[in-house]
Amino acid sequence: MRLKKSVIIIPVVLALLAGGGYFGYTKYQEYQAEQARLEEEKKRETLYVSSEEKSVEIERRDGEGTLTLVRGTPVETRVVPLIVKENEEDENEVGKEYRLVFIDETEYLMTDDQLCRDPKDAVKEKSGFVTLPCVLYKDPSGPAIAGMAAKGSQAEITGFANLLADGGIDRYLVNVDGQQGYIRSEYLVRTAEEVKDTVEAFQYEREDLYGGGNAYTLEYPDLPKGNFEDNPMPVECRTLYLNKACIEYIDDYIEIANNSGVNAFIIDIKESDGPAYESPVIQELSPTSYEYAFNTFDDYKAAIQKCKDAGIYVIGRIVTFKDDLYAEDHPEMCLVDRANGAPYMLASAYWPSPYQRTVWEYNIRLAIEAAEEMGFNEINFDYIRFPDMIDLVIDGIDFRNDYDETMAQAINRFMLYARDELHERHVYMSADVFGETSNDYVCAYGQYWPMMSNIADVMCAMPYPDHFAIHDYGIEQAVWEVPYQLLYYWGLYINERQAETPNPAKVRTWIQGYDTTWQEPQVEYTVDKINEQIEGLYANGLDDGYMVWNAPSELYRYWSYAPAFYERKN
Protein backbone atom coordinates (compact mmCIF):
# COMPACT_ATOMS: atom_id res chain seq x y z
CA MET A 1 0.00 0.00 0.00
CA ARG A 2 1.55 3.38 -1.08
CA LEU A 3 1.76 6.14 1.49
CA LYS A 4 0.35 9.51 0.68
CA LYS A 5 2.86 12.36 0.39
CA SER A 6 1.19 14.25 3.22
CA VAL A 7 1.81 11.31 5.54
CA ILE A 8 5.56 11.74 4.93
CA ILE A 9 5.78 15.55 4.86
CA ILE A 10 3.87 16.22 8.09
CA PRO A 11 6.24 14.23 10.32
CA VAL A 12 9.23 15.97 8.75
CA VAL A 13 7.78 19.39 9.43
CA LEU A 14 6.83 18.35 12.98
CA ALA A 15 10.34 17.09 13.50
CA LEU A 16 11.78 20.40 12.33
CA LEU A 17 9.50 22.32 14.65
CA ALA A 18 10.31 20.01 17.48
CA GLY A 19 14.03 20.33 16.81
CA GLY A 20 14.17 24.10 16.66
CA GLY A 21 10.72 25.53 16.49
CA TYR A 22 10.32 28.51 14.24
CA PHE A 23 14.09 28.86 13.97
CA GLY A 24 14.35 25.43 12.38
CA TYR A 25 11.67 26.26 9.83
CA THR A 26 13.49 29.48 8.93
CA LYS A 27 16.69 27.55 8.32
CA TYR A 28 14.79 25.27 6.02
CA GLN A 29 13.51 28.25 4.03
CA GLU A 30 17.02 29.67 3.78
CA TYR A 31 18.27 26.34 2.56
CA GLN A 32 15.57 26.20 -0.11
CA ALA A 33 16.35 29.76 -1.21
CA GLU A 34 20.07 29.00 -1.43
CA GLN A 35 19.36 25.94 -3.52
CA ALA A 36 17.15 28.00 -5.82
CA ARG A 37 19.88 30.66 -6.09
CA LEU A 38 22.49 28.07 -6.94
CA GLU A 39 20.22 26.59 -9.59
CA GLU A 40 19.60 30.06 -11.03
CA GLU A 41 23.33 30.77 -11.17
CA LYS A 42 23.86 27.61 -13.18
CA LYS A 43 21.59 28.96 -15.89
CA ARG A 44 23.37 30.34 -18.93
CA GLU A 45 22.32 32.38 -21.95
CA THR A 46 24.03 33.28 -25.21
CA LEU A 47 24.87 36.97 -25.63
CA TYR A 48 27.06 38.83 -28.16
CA VAL A 49 30.16 40.97 -27.69
CA SER A 50 29.24 44.64 -28.14
CA SER A 51 31.58 47.61 -28.52
CA GLU A 52 32.41 50.84 -30.35
CA GLU A 53 35.72 49.24 -31.27
CA LYS A 54 36.43 46.18 -33.40
CA SER A 55 37.26 44.11 -30.32
CA VAL A 56 37.29 44.08 -26.52
CA GLU A 57 39.85 42.69 -24.09
CA ILE A 58 38.42 40.67 -21.18
CA GLU A 59 40.06 39.37 -18.01
CA ARG A 60 40.05 35.86 -16.61
CA ARG A 61 38.18 35.55 -13.34
CA ASP A 62 41.26 34.17 -11.62
CA GLY A 63 43.37 37.08 -12.88
CA GLU A 64 45.69 34.77 -14.80
CA GLY A 65 45.45 36.47 -18.19
CA THR A 66 43.25 38.23 -20.73
CA LEU A 67 41.51 37.37 -24.00
CA THR A 68 40.59 39.53 -26.99
CA LEU A 69 37.16 38.98 -28.57
CA VAL A 70 35.92 40.65 -31.75
CA ARG A 71 32.53 42.27 -31.48
CA GLY A 72 29.64 40.14 -32.59
CA THR A 73 31.21 37.00 -31.11
CA PRO A 74 28.59 34.83 -29.38
CA VAL A 75 29.51 33.98 -25.77
CA GLU A 76 27.88 31.86 -23.08
CA THR A 77 27.24 33.88 -19.94
CA ARG A 78 25.82 33.22 -16.50
CA VAL A 79 22.41 34.82 -16.11
CA VAL A 80 22.93 36.42 -12.67
CA PRO A 81 25.41 39.35 -12.49
CA LEU A 82 28.28 38.86 -10.07
CA ILE A 83 29.85 41.67 -8.04
CA VAL A 84 33.53 40.84 -7.88
CA LYS A 85 35.34 44.15 -7.43
CA GLU A 86 35.40 45.15 -3.75
CA ASN A 87 38.93 46.11 -2.69
CA GLU A 88 40.40 47.52 -5.88
CA GLU A 89 42.76 50.49 -5.78
CA ASP A 90 40.76 52.03 -8.62
CA GLU A 91 37.65 53.54 -6.99
CA ASN A 92 35.79 53.30 -10.30
CA GLU A 93 36.13 49.53 -10.18
CA VAL A 94 34.89 49.00 -6.62
CA GLY A 95 31.50 47.33 -6.57
CA LYS A 96 31.36 47.02 -10.36
CA GLU A 97 29.09 44.26 -11.61
CA TYR A 98 30.46 41.67 -13.98
CA ARG A 99 28.99 38.67 -15.72
CA LEU A 100 30.77 35.38 -15.83
CA VAL A 101 31.55 34.41 -19.42
CA PHE A 102 32.59 30.90 -20.31
CA ILE A 103 35.14 30.41 -23.10
CA ASP A 104 36.05 26.74 -23.39
CA GLU A 105 34.75 26.48 -19.81
CA THR A 106 37.33 29.00 -18.60
CA GLU A 107 35.67 31.80 -16.64
CA TYR A 108 36.11 35.40 -17.80
CA LEU A 109 34.57 38.66 -16.64
CA MET A 110 32.53 41.05 -18.80
CA THR A 111 30.36 44.05 -18.00
CA ASP A 112 26.80 44.33 -19.26
CA ASP A 113 27.74 47.20 -21.60
CA GLN A 114 30.11 44.81 -23.39
CA LEU A 115 27.25 42.45 -24.22
CA CYS A 116 23.99 42.52 -26.15
CA ARG A 117 21.20 40.11 -26.93
CA ASP A 118 20.84 40.89 -30.66
CA PRO A 119 23.85 40.77 -33.02
CA LYS A 120 22.48 43.91 -34.70
CA ASP A 121 23.29 45.78 -31.47
CA ALA A 122 26.92 44.64 -31.42
CA VAL A 123 28.00 47.84 -33.20
CA LYS A 124 27.65 50.68 -30.69
CA GLU A 125 29.04 53.71 -32.51
CA LYS A 126 26.34 56.31 -33.16
CA SER A 127 28.07 58.99 -35.22
CA GLY A 128 31.14 59.77 -37.28
CA PHE A 129 32.73 62.31 -39.61
CA VAL A 130 33.31 61.90 -43.35
CA THR A 131 36.99 62.04 -44.35
CA LEU A 132 36.57 62.36 -48.13
CA PRO A 133 33.85 63.35 -50.58
CA CYS A 134 32.45 59.92 -51.36
CA VAL A 135 29.34 58.17 -52.61
CA LEU A 136 26.43 57.06 -50.49
CA TYR A 137 25.05 53.73 -51.66
CA LYS A 138 21.37 52.91 -51.96
CA ASP A 139 21.89 49.29 -50.98
CA PRO A 140 24.20 47.46 -48.55
CA SER A 141 26.21 45.92 -51.39
CA GLY A 142 26.18 48.74 -53.99
CA PRO A 143 26.94 49.94 -56.61
CA ALA A 144 23.72 52.01 -56.91
CA ILE A 145 24.36 55.59 -55.78
CA ALA A 146 21.99 57.39 -53.38
CA GLY A 147 23.99 60.62 -53.17
CA MET A 148 27.28 62.13 -52.03
CA ALA A 149 28.68 62.82 -48.57
CA ALA A 150 30.81 65.94 -48.20
CA LYS A 151 34.17 65.90 -46.45
CA GLY A 152 33.86 66.88 -42.80
CA SER A 153 30.12 66.24 -42.57
CA GLN A 154 28.85 64.63 -39.39
CA ALA A 155 26.97 61.40 -40.03
CA GLU A 156 24.40 59.77 -37.77
CA ILE A 157 24.95 56.00 -37.78
CA THR A 158 21.69 54.08 -37.81
CA GLY A 159 22.85 50.63 -38.88
CA PHE A 160 25.38 48.69 -40.87
CA ALA A 161 25.63 46.29 -43.79
CA ASN A 162 27.96 43.50 -42.65
CA LEU A 163 29.98 42.75 -39.55
CA LEU A 164 33.33 41.39 -40.72
CA ALA A 165 35.37 38.55 -39.24
CA ASP A 166 37.77 40.99 -37.55
CA GLY A 167 34.93 42.95 -35.94
CA GLY A 168 35.07 45.70 -38.54
CA ILE A 169 32.19 47.04 -40.61
CA ASP A 170 32.14 47.19 -44.39
CA ARG A 171 29.49 49.91 -44.76
CA TYR A 172 27.52 51.95 -42.25
CA LEU A 173 23.94 53.07 -42.82
CA VAL A 174 23.99 56.81 -42.13
CA ASN A 175 22.00 60.02 -42.28
CA VAL A 176 24.28 62.75 -43.57
CA ASP A 177 23.78 66.07 -45.34
CA GLY A 178 20.04 65.44 -45.47
CA GLN A 179 20.51 62.10 -47.23
CA GLN A 180 20.35 58.48 -46.18
CA GLY A 181 22.58 55.76 -47.56
CA TYR A 182 25.45 53.38 -46.91
CA ILE A 183 28.99 54.71 -46.63
CA ARG A 184 32.19 52.70 -46.72
CA SER A 185 33.64 52.48 -43.23
CA GLU A 186 37.11 53.62 -44.29
CA TYR A 187 35.67 57.07 -45.01
CA LEU A 188 34.22 57.56 -41.53
CA VAL A 189 36.20 58.57 -38.44
CA ARG A 190 35.15 59.36 -34.85
CA THR A 191 36.08 63.04 -34.57
CA ALA A 192 36.29 66.14 -36.72
CA GLU A 193 39.98 66.45 -35.80
CA GLU A 194 40.67 63.08 -37.42
CA VAL A 195 39.27 64.40 -40.70
CA LYS A 196 41.87 67.14 -40.69
CA ASP A 197 44.64 64.68 -39.82
CA THR A 198 43.65 62.42 -42.74
CA VAL A 199 44.71 64.93 -45.38
CA GLU A 200 46.76 67.56 -43.57
CA ALA A 201 50.11 66.11 -44.61
CA PHE A 202 49.28 66.04 -48.31
CA GLN A 203 48.24 69.49 -49.49
CA TYR A 204 49.56 71.49 -52.42
CA GLU A 205 48.75 74.87 -53.84
CA ARG A 206 48.20 74.62 -57.58
CA GLU A 207 47.11 77.13 -60.15
CA ASP A 208 44.04 76.16 -62.12
CA LEU A 209 45.19 77.24 -65.57
CA TYR A 210 41.62 77.41 -66.87
CA GLY A 211 39.99 78.77 -63.72
CA GLY A 212 40.98 82.43 -63.89
CA GLY A 213 44.47 81.80 -62.57
CA ASN A 214 43.21 81.19 -59.03
CA ALA A 215 45.24 78.89 -56.81
CA TYR A 216 43.42 76.38 -54.65
CA THR A 217 44.33 73.57 -52.31
CA LEU A 218 44.31 69.98 -53.51
CA GLU A 219 44.22 67.27 -50.88
CA TYR A 220 45.56 63.73 -51.09
CA PRO A 221 44.59 61.00 -48.65
CA ASP A 222 47.02 58.09 -48.45
CA LEU A 223 45.03 55.45 -50.33
CA PRO A 224 46.44 51.91 -50.49
CA LYS A 225 46.95 50.29 -53.88
CA GLY A 226 45.48 46.97 -54.91
CA ASN A 227 47.64 43.96 -54.10
CA PHE A 228 45.65 40.79 -54.57
CA GLU A 229 47.24 37.38 -54.06
CA ASP A 230 44.50 35.74 -56.13
CA ASN A 231 45.08 38.23 -58.97
CA PRO A 232 48.79 39.06 -59.24
CA MET A 233 49.75 41.85 -61.63
CA PRO A 234 52.91 41.26 -63.70
CA VAL A 235 55.85 43.40 -62.61
CA GLU A 236 56.12 44.59 -66.22
CA CYS A 237 53.10 44.44 -68.53
CA ARG A 238 54.18 44.25 -72.19
CA THR A 239 50.79 44.91 -73.71
CA LEU A 240 49.02 44.85 -77.08
CA TYR A 241 45.75 46.65 -77.75
CA LEU A 242 42.95 44.50 -79.23
CA ASN A 243 39.83 46.18 -80.54
CA LYS A 244 36.40 44.57 -80.34
CA ALA A 245 36.74 42.95 -83.78
CA CYS A 246 39.77 40.94 -82.66
CA ILE A 247 37.74 38.41 -80.69
CA GLU A 248 37.17 36.33 -83.84
CA TYR A 249 40.93 36.06 -84.37
CA ILE A 250 42.03 35.73 -80.75
CA ASP A 251 44.15 32.64 -81.49
CA ASP A 252 46.34 34.70 -83.82
CA TYR A 253 47.02 37.31 -81.14
CA ILE A 254 47.77 34.62 -78.58
CA GLU A 255 50.28 33.15 -81.04
CA ILE A 256 52.09 36.51 -81.15
CA ALA A 257 52.22 36.55 -77.35
CA ASN A 258 53.54 32.99 -77.27
CA ASN A 259 56.35 33.92 -79.65
CA SER A 260 57.40 37.24 -78.17
CA GLY A 261 57.65 38.98 -74.82
CA VAL A 262 54.00 40.06 -74.80
CA ASN A 263 52.33 39.05 -71.54
CA ALA A 264 49.22 41.27 -71.49
CA PHE A 265 46.33 42.33 -73.74
CA ILE A 266 44.11 45.38 -73.34
CA ILE A 267 40.79 44.53 -74.98
CA ASP A 268 37.78 46.74 -75.69
CA ILE A 269 34.71 46.34 -73.50
CA LYS A 270 32.91 49.48 -74.67
CA GLU A 271 33.80 52.05 -77.32
CA SER A 272 31.94 55.28 -78.02
CA ASP A 273 30.19 53.58 -80.94
CA GLY A 274 29.04 50.49 -79.10
CA PRO A 275 30.00 47.59 -76.83
CA ALA A 276 32.31 44.72 -77.66
CA TYR A 277 29.79 42.11 -76.49
CA GLU A 278 26.11 41.66 -75.70
CA SER A 279 26.24 43.01 -72.17
CA PRO A 280 23.17 42.51 -69.95
CA VAL A 281 24.02 45.78 -68.19
CA ILE A 282 24.05 47.67 -71.47
CA GLN A 283 20.88 45.92 -72.60
CA GLU A 284 19.15 47.23 -69.48
CA LEU A 285 20.59 50.74 -69.34
CA SER A 286 21.27 51.65 -72.98
CA PRO A 287 19.19 49.54 -75.39
CA THR A 288 20.38 51.52 -78.42
CA SER A 289 23.98 50.77 -77.56
CA TYR A 290 23.14 47.08 -77.08
CA GLU A 291 21.92 46.88 -80.69
CA TYR A 292 25.49 47.62 -81.81
CA ALA A 293 27.15 44.87 -79.75
CA PHE A 294 29.93 43.38 -81.87
CA ASN A 295 30.22 39.90 -80.35
CA THR A 296 27.93 37.53 -78.53
CA PHE A 297 28.33 37.24 -74.79
CA ASP A 298 29.52 33.63 -75.05
CA ASP A 299 32.02 34.19 -77.88
CA TYR A 300 33.56 37.12 -76.07
CA LYS A 301 33.78 35.26 -72.78
CA ALA A 302 35.38 32.25 -74.47
CA ALA A 303 38.02 34.49 -76.07
CA ILE A 304 38.93 36.13 -72.77
CA GLN A 305 39.21 32.72 -71.14
CA LYS A 306 41.56 31.56 -73.92
CA CYS A 307 43.81 34.51 -73.15
CA LYS A 308 43.84 33.70 -69.45
CA ASP A 309 44.49 30.03 -70.13
CA ALA A 310 47.52 31.12 -72.15
CA GLY A 311 48.86 32.98 -69.11
CA ILE A 312 48.05 36.44 -70.47
CA TYR A 313 47.12 39.25 -68.06
CA VAL A 314 43.88 40.69 -69.46
CA ILE A 315 42.86 44.34 -69.16
CA GLY A 316 39.37 45.49 -70.17
CA ARG A 317 39.08 48.96 -71.75
CA ILE A 318 35.97 51.09 -71.21
CA VAL A 319 35.51 54.35 -73.07
CA THR A 320 33.81 56.21 -70.26
CA PHE A 321 32.50 59.75 -70.81
CA LYS A 322 32.37 59.76 -74.61
CA ASP A 323 29.38 57.68 -75.65
CA ASP A 324 27.15 58.59 -78.60
CA LEU A 325 24.74 55.69 -78.14
CA TYR A 326 24.18 56.16 -74.42
CA ALA A 327 23.62 59.85 -75.19
CA GLU A 328 20.91 58.88 -77.67
CA ASP A 329 19.11 56.93 -74.96
CA HIS A 330 19.74 59.47 -72.18
CA PRO A 331 20.03 63.03 -73.51
CA GLU A 332 19.06 64.24 -70.03
CA MET A 333 22.43 62.96 -68.74
CA CYS A 334 24.58 64.74 -71.34
CA LEU A 335 26.46 67.99 -71.66
CA VAL A 336 23.81 70.28 -73.12
CA ASP A 337 23.83 73.24 -75.51
CA ARG A 338 22.39 76.16 -73.56
CA ALA A 339 21.08 77.66 -76.80
CA ASN A 340 18.69 74.83 -77.71
CA GLY A 341 18.70 72.32 -74.82
CA ALA A 342 20.05 69.53 -77.03
CA PRO A 343 23.14 67.41 -76.27
CA TYR A 344 26.29 69.30 -77.20
CA MET A 345 28.60 67.72 -79.78
CA LEU A 346 32.28 68.10 -79.01
CA ALA A 347 35.17 66.36 -80.77
CA SER A 348 32.61 64.79 -83.15
CA ALA A 349 30.80 63.05 -80.32
CA TYR A 350 28.19 63.46 -77.60
CA TRP A 351 29.34 63.32 -74.00
CA PRO A 352 27.39 62.02 -71.02
CA SER A 353 28.28 64.41 -68.21
CA PRO A 354 31.05 63.31 -65.83
CA TYR A 355 29.12 65.20 -63.15
CA GLN A 356 26.13 62.86 -63.37
CA ARG A 357 26.15 59.96 -60.89
CA THR A 358 23.80 57.95 -63.09
CA VAL A 359 26.51 57.98 -65.77
CA TRP A 360 29.07 56.87 -63.18
CA GLU A 361 26.89 54.00 -62.12
CA TYR A 362 26.32 52.85 -65.72
CA ASN A 363 30.04 52.55 -66.41
CA ILE A 364 30.84 50.93 -63.07
CA ARG A 365 28.06 48.38 -63.37
CA LEU A 366 29.54 47.46 -66.76
CA ALA A 367 33.04 47.27 -65.24
CA ILE A 368 31.79 44.98 -62.47
CA GLU A 369 30.02 42.74 -64.97
CA ALA A 370 33.14 42.48 -67.13
CA ALA A 371 35.28 41.67 -64.10
CA GLU A 372 32.93 39.09 -62.63
CA GLU A 373 31.53 37.48 -65.79
CA MET A 374 34.48 37.76 -68.16
CA GLY A 375 37.31 37.46 -65.65
CA PHE A 376 39.31 40.60 -66.45
CA ASN A 377 42.31 41.16 -64.18
CA GLU A 378 42.11 44.93 -64.55
CA ILE A 379 39.66 47.54 -65.84
CA ASN A 380 41.06 50.48 -67.79
CA PHE A 381 39.02 53.68 -68.09
CA ASP A 382 39.68 55.69 -71.25
CA TYR A 383 38.15 59.11 -71.95
CA ILE A 384 38.00 59.57 -68.19
CA ARG A 385 37.73 63.31 -68.68
CA PHE A 386 35.67 66.14 -70.12
CA PRO A 387 36.06 66.89 -73.84
CA ASP A 388 39.37 68.46 -74.80
CA MET A 389 39.19 72.09 -75.97
CA ILE A 390 36.08 72.49 -73.84
CA ASP A 391 37.44 75.74 -72.41
CA LEU A 392 36.76 77.37 -75.79
CA VAL A 393 32.99 76.80 -75.56
CA ILE A 394 32.52 76.51 -71.81
CA ASP A 395 30.00 79.35 -71.48
CA GLY A 396 27.63 77.75 -73.97
CA ILE A 397 27.30 74.42 -72.12
CA ASP A 398 25.07 73.26 -69.30
CA PHE A 399 27.26 70.70 -67.56
CA ARG A 400 24.49 69.35 -65.29
CA ASN A 401 26.78 69.98 -62.34
CA ASP A 402 24.46 68.91 -59.52
CA TYR A 403 27.12 68.96 -56.77
CA ASP A 404 28.87 72.23 -57.69
CA GLU A 405 32.19 70.48 -58.36
CA THR A 406 35.21 71.42 -60.41
CA MET A 407 36.00 69.16 -63.37
CA ALA A 408 39.00 67.68 -61.55
CA GLN A 409 36.88 66.94 -58.48
CA ALA A 410 34.29 65.09 -60.58
CA ILE A 411 36.93 62.97 -62.33
CA ASN A 412 38.73 62.08 -59.12
CA ARG A 413 35.56 61.27 -57.21
CA PHE A 414 34.46 58.98 -60.03
CA MET A 415 37.84 57.27 -59.86
CA LEU A 416 37.54 56.77 -56.11
CA TYR A 417 34.13 55.14 -56.61
CA ALA A 418 35.51 52.93 -59.41
CA ARG A 419 38.56 51.95 -57.37
CA ASP A 420 36.49 50.95 -54.37
CA GLU A 421 34.08 48.81 -56.37
CA LEU A 422 36.85 47.04 -58.30
CA HIS A 423 39.14 46.51 -55.32
CA GLU A 424 36.27 44.93 -53.44
CA ARG A 425 36.30 42.32 -56.21
CA HIS A 426 40.13 42.02 -56.27
CA VAL A 427 40.39 43.75 -59.65
CA TYR A 428 42.85 46.55 -60.48
CA MET A 429 41.93 49.96 -61.90
CA SER A 430 43.89 51.96 -64.45
CA ALA A 431 43.25 55.37 -66.01
CA ASP A 432 44.19 56.76 -69.43
CA VAL A 433 45.39 60.38 -69.45
CA PHE A 434 46.76 62.80 -72.02
CA GLY A 435 50.51 63.37 -72.25
CA GLU A 436 49.80 66.96 -71.20
CA THR A 437 49.26 65.76 -67.62
CA SER A 438 53.04 65.80 -67.17
CA ASN A 439 52.63 69.54 -66.54
CA ASP A 440 52.02 71.02 -63.09
CA TYR A 441 48.54 72.39 -63.74
CA VAL A 442 45.03 71.05 -63.77
CA CYS A 443 44.18 70.38 -67.42
CA ALA A 444 41.16 72.08 -68.99
CA TYR A 445 39.33 68.76 -69.26
CA GLY A 446 39.73 67.84 -65.58
CA GLN A 447 42.79 65.58 -65.52
CA TYR A 448 45.49 66.25 -62.94
CA TRP A 449 48.21 63.61 -62.65
CA PRO A 450 49.05 63.69 -58.91
CA MET A 451 45.42 63.37 -57.81
CA MET A 452 44.67 60.62 -60.31
CA SER A 453 47.89 58.73 -59.56
CA ASN A 454 46.95 58.78 -55.90
CA ILE A 455 43.75 56.84 -56.63
CA ALA A 456 44.55 54.59 -59.60
CA ASP A 457 46.59 51.40 -59.46
CA VAL A 458 48.12 52.22 -62.85
CA MET A 459 48.46 55.47 -64.79
CA CYS A 460 48.41 55.05 -68.56
CA ALA A 461 49.49 58.25 -70.28
CA MET A 462 49.30 58.73 -74.05
CA PRO A 463 52.40 60.74 -75.04
CA TYR A 464 52.24 59.74 -78.71
CA PRO A 465 55.22 61.43 -80.37
CA ASP A 466 53.27 62.86 -83.30
CA HIS A 467 50.87 64.60 -80.87
CA PHE A 468 53.59 66.95 -79.56
CA ALA A 469 54.62 70.31 -80.97
CA ILE A 470 57.43 69.87 -83.45
CA HIS A 471 60.25 71.15 -81.20
CA ASP A 472 58.92 70.48 -77.69
CA TYR A 473 61.52 70.44 -74.89
CA GLY A 474 63.86 72.38 -77.18
CA ILE A 475 64.60 69.32 -79.32
CA GLU A 476 66.08 70.49 -82.66
CA GLN A 477 64.65 67.70 -84.78
CA ALA A 478 60.95 67.03 -85.13
CA VAL A 479 60.27 65.27 -81.84
CA TRP A 480 58.57 62.28 -83.49
CA GLU A 481 61.81 61.63 -85.36
CA VAL A 482 63.64 61.12 -82.05
CA PRO A 483 61.12 59.41 -79.74
CA TYR A 484 63.82 58.32 -77.26
CA GLN A 485 64.75 61.93 -76.50
CA LEU A 486 61.15 63.06 -76.45
CA LEU A 487 59.90 60.44 -73.99
CA TYR A 488 62.99 60.76 -71.84
CA TYR A 489 62.33 64.48 -71.32
CA TRP A 490 58.61 63.90 -70.91
CA GLY A 491 59.34 61.25 -68.28
CA LEU A 492 61.36 63.71 -66.19
CA TYR A 493 58.19 65.72 -65.61
CA ILE A 494 56.12 62.62 -64.89
CA ASN A 495 58.56 61.75 -62.12
CA GLU A 496 58.01 65.22 -60.65
CA ARG A 497 54.24 64.67 -60.69
CA GLN A 498 54.64 61.23 -59.13
CA ALA A 499 56.59 62.78 -56.26
CA GLU A 500 53.65 65.06 -55.44
CA THR A 501 51.39 62.28 -54.23
CA PRO A 502 51.85 60.13 -51.12
CA ASN A 503 51.26 56.77 -52.78
CA PRO A 504 51.69 57.02 -56.56
CA ALA A 505 50.40 54.49 -59.06
CA LYS A 506 52.46 52.33 -61.37
CA VAL A 507 53.17 53.95 -64.74
CA ARG A 508 52.38 51.86 -67.79
CA THR A 509 52.56 54.17 -70.82
CA TRP A 510 50.80 53.95 -74.16
CA ILE A 511 53.28 54.03 -77.05
CA GLN A 512 52.67 54.85 -80.69
CA GLY A 513 52.23 51.70 -82.76
CA TYR A 514 50.64 52.98 -85.94
CA ASP A 515 52.60 53.05 -89.13
CA THR A 516 53.18 56.69 -90.16
CA THR A 517 53.07 59.94 -88.20
CA TRP A 518 50.33 62.35 -89.21
CA GLN A 519 52.57 65.43 -89.02
CA GLU A 520 55.30 66.40 -91.46
CA PRO A 521 58.01 65.26 -91.79
CA GLN A 522 56.30 61.89 -91.81
CA VAL A 523 58.09 59.03 -90.10
CA GLU A 524 57.26 55.33 -90.37
CA TYR A 525 57.11 53.70 -86.95
CA THR A 526 58.97 50.44 -87.39
CA VAL A 527 60.31 48.18 -84.66
CA ASP A 528 63.24 50.60 -84.12
CA LYS A 529 60.87 53.41 -83.17
CA ILE A 530 59.01 51.04 -80.83
CA ASN A 531 62.31 50.27 -79.12
CA GLU A 532 63.26 53.95 -78.88
CA GLN A 533 59.99 54.83 -77.15
CA ILE A 534 60.32 52.04 -74.62
CA GLU A 535 63.97 52.81 -73.91
CA GLY A 536 63.23 56.52 -73.41
CA LEU A 537 60.59 55.68 -70.80
CA TYR A 538 62.63 53.01 -69.05
CA ALA A 539 65.65 55.29 -68.81
CA ASN A 540 63.59 57.40 -66.40
CA GLY A 541 62.45 54.45 -64.32
CA LEU A 542 59.01 54.36 -65.95
CA ASP A 543 59.45 50.63 -66.45
CA ASP A 544 56.19 49.09 -65.21
CA GLY A 545 55.44 48.22 -68.82
CA TYR A 546 53.87 49.72 -71.93
CA MET A 547 50.77 49.38 -74.11
CA VAL A 548 51.03 49.52 -77.89
CA TRP A 549 48.29 51.62 -79.47
CA ASN A 550 47.30 50.52 -82.95
CA ALA A 551 43.60 51.29 -83.51
CA PRO A 552 42.99 48.55 -86.12
CA SER A 553 45.10 46.09 -84.07
CA GLU A 554 46.93 45.00 -87.20
CA LEU A 555 48.38 41.53 -86.89
CA TYR A 556 51.14 42.06 -89.41
CA ARG A 557 52.34 45.18 -87.60
CA TYR A 558 52.28 43.47 -84.22
CA TRP A 559 54.31 40.63 -85.69
CA SER A 560 56.81 43.20 -86.99
CA TYR A 561 57.17 44.62 -83.48
CA ALA A 562 57.73 41.19 -81.91
CA PRO A 563 61.55 41.52 -81.74
CA ALA A 564 61.16 44.59 -79.47
CA PHE A 565 58.77 42.73 -77.18
CA TYR A 566 61.05 39.70 -77.09
CA GLU A 567 64.05 41.87 -76.24
CA ARG A 568 62.25 43.20 -73.12
CA LYS A 569 61.29 39.66 -72.06
CA ASN A 570 64.93 38.65 -72.04
Residue pLDDT, tens place only, 484-521: 999 999 999 999 999 988 889 999 999 999 888 888 99
Same structural domain, 312 and 188: no
Q: Mutual orientation of helices 250-258 and 297-309 as an angle, nearest 10°?
A: 10
CATH number of domain containing 157: 2.30.30.40
Residue 105 pLDDT exceeds 50? yes
Tell me the residue type at 150: A
Residue 192 lies in a domain: yes
- Choosing from 76, 98, 120, the residue where a domain stops is 120
Rounded mean pLDDT, 466-477: 95
Considering only residues 358 and 195, tell me which one the structure prediction assigns the higher pLDDT: 358
Q: Which one of 120, 139, 172 terminates a domain?
A: 120
Q: Do both 175 and 247 map to the same domain? A: no
Total domains present in the chain? 3
**Contact present, 229 and 222 (Cβ < 8 Å):** no
Do residues 381 and 316 both lie within one domain?
A: yes
Residue of 270, 460, 436, 452 whose CA lies nearest to 359: 270
Instruction: Tell whether 160 and 137 lie within a shared domain.
Output: yes
Q: Are residues 163 and 254 in the same domain?
A: no
- Whether 135 and 266 share a structural domain: no
What is the tens place of the pLDDT at every residue in 232-254?
Answer: 999 999 999 999 999 999 999 99
* Backbone phi and psi for residue 389, each to the nearest 5 degrees, phi listed first: 70, 15
Question: Are 169 and 85 contained in the same domain?
Answer: no
| Cα–Cα distance, 261 to 250 (Å, whole number) | 17
Same domain, 187 and 299: no
Q: Which of 85, 120, 155 is the last residue of a domain?
A: 120
Which residues span the domain enclosing 180? 125-200
Q: Which segment of 16-20, 259-263, 305-309 scores lowest on mean pLDDT?
A: 16-20
Contacts with 381 (C-beta within 8 Å, 6 or more apart), sequence order: 318, 320, 363, 367, 415, 418, 429, 430, 431, 432
CATH code (residue 546): 3.20.20.80
Report residue 92's pLDDT band, with 50, 70 and 90 as the boundaries: low
pLDDT surpassing 50 at residue 213: no
Rounded to whole angstroms, how far apart are CA atoms 404 and 355? 9
Residue 439 inside a domain? The answer is yes
Q: Is 403 among the domain residues?
A: no
In a domain, 361, yes or no: yes
In a domain, 138, yes or no: yes
Q: Do 438 and 554 belong to one domain? A: yes
Instruction: State whether residue 334 is helix, strand or coil.
Output: strand
**Over 60: is that where the pLDDT of 455 sits?**
yes
**Shared-domain flag, residues 541 and 471:** yes
pTM (two decimals): 0.88
- Quick check: is 225 in a domain? no
Neighbours of 400 (CB within 10 A): 17
Average pLDDT of the residues in 43-62: 93
- Residue percentage of the chain with pLDDT more than 70: 87
Q: Is the pLDDT of residue 209 over 50?
A: no
Are 425 and 458 in the same domain? yes
Averaged confidence pLDDT in the chain? 89
Provide the phi-psi class of 499: left if phi over 0, else alpha when psi is between -120 and 50, else beta: alpha
Same domain, 374 and 450: yes
